[in-house]
Amino acid sequence: MTATAARHVAVTLAWVGAVAVSALNGVAVGYGAIWLQFFGDSPDAADYRMSAGGYGAAAVVLALAVPAMLARGGPRWLVLPTVVTACVLGVLAGGSALRATEAEEPSRAYDGAWDGIAGVLWGPWTWVLLALGVQGLYQLTMTRGPVAEEPSR
């Protein structure tokens, strides 16, 4: 295997790993906020808000991973699964947010959605995807502008 091929494999594995771990982290935070209740409590509105925050943060991270992949030469085949996963996480976030409006308010006070967002953003791979995503958005929007026509003589 040549050095170029080995680098391509390593970059592909890094992209796949970052996307997969971000998606799994979003599911763990979103699902865990609802179903892993301490002391047998049933989920309340704050738990559903935390779930929505976790699902939603992971969806945003994955949505930003798409322009990063396109601008930085990431694997093109990974774009579709990333978009689908971001959409599914977005739908789950919406469902949890809707359930939060129907659930009873908690007896204890905590941040709810911000706890879920923080649960997703604790991973360093998430910050890499966010930074590359913002850079990718910038690159794609700056290079996709209108094509200047040559003046006629």
Q: pLDDT of 84-112, one tens digit each?
A: 999 999 999 999 999 888 877 765 666 67
Q: pLDDT of 104-134, one tens digit each?
A: 776 566 667 888 899 999 988 899 999 999 9
Q: Give the other-Cβ count within 10 Å of 43's Cβ.
A: 20
Residue 97 CA: distances (Å) to CA of 50, 54, 90, 106, 146: 9, 11, 10, 15, 40
Burial of 81 (0-12, 13-18, 19+ CB in 10 A): middle
**Domain-wise residue ranges, the chain:** 22-131
Res. 83 pLDDT band, cuts 50 70 90: very high
